[in-house]
Chains A and B, each alone.
Chain A
């Protein structure tokens, strides 16, 4: 049986764009998660998400693992980009879309190679 940390590491390494959030993209259950998922969706790339309200172990462990005490958390290419404040500011600055496009493109190439 794998530990929660192993699960988190696996999720982060297997999904080039990954959002840990409260609720789902269709039914976000927190204003910060809602705004963040909206910004991510507006960039038009496929992304994975984990509803931390349904995964209490991940919710607890990820805070320590990431050194980040709140949700949402956006991870791109295995690195924490930030929470709502950062993601929304990057979206408004026009920095989010190229970051996500690049991550999606790199991922597509990798899949094609394998």
Chain B
């Protein structure tokens, strides 16, 4: 199983209404077919009443192994079902790479 599938499987613990995991590694300074940079969108009522920092920390705790290992960047877009509806299902874009180093 690749890292992308791992992330998707593990996030099912949040009972998400939607999971979208996008491998954006090709946009960064890493070898071809890397699995280092991801953008994850999750819509779940588990985020109800949680401030953004807490939502992110909830996801980080689920993906702690991946973040300690292969995953270098993880853009997170975390919404409650109501917020997702207000957005009209629009996933924000990630910024372009500026070089930098792999940790």
Contacts and interface: CB of A to CB of B under 8 A. Distances in A.
- Interface on chain B toward A: helix, strand, loop, or mixed SS? mixed
A31 B52 contact: no
Nearest to B60: A69
Given A30-B99, A32-B75, A69-B68, 16 more contacts: A28-B98, A29-B100, A30-B98, A31-B95, A31-B98, A32-B73, A33-B98, A33-B100, A59-B103, A68-B57, A69-B74, A70-B73, A83-B56, A84-B95, A86-B52, A86-B53
Interface of B: 52-53, 56-57, 60, 64, 67-68, 73-77, 92, 94-101, 103
Contacts of B101: 22, 29, 53
A82 interface: yes
Interface string A48-89: 000001000001000000011110000000001111111011
A11 interface: no
A82 B94 CA distance: 16
Contact of B97 (A31, A68, A70): A31
22 contacts: A22-B100, A29-B99, A30-B98, A30-B99, A31-B97, A32-B73, A32-B94, A34-B98, A68-B56, A68-B60, A69-B64, A69-B74, A70-B74, A80-B53, A82-B52, A82-B53, A85-B52, A85-B75, A85-B76, A85-B77, A85-B92, A88-B92
B99 to A, nearest CB: 5
A35 interface: yes
Interface of A: 22-23, 28-35, 53, 59, 67-70, 80-86, 88-90
A31 B73 CA distance: 11
Contacts of B57: 67-68
- Closest 10 A/B residue pairs (Cβ): A31-B95, A30-B100, A29-B100, A69-B67, A86-B52, A35-B95, A31-B96, A31-B98, A22-B100, A82-B53
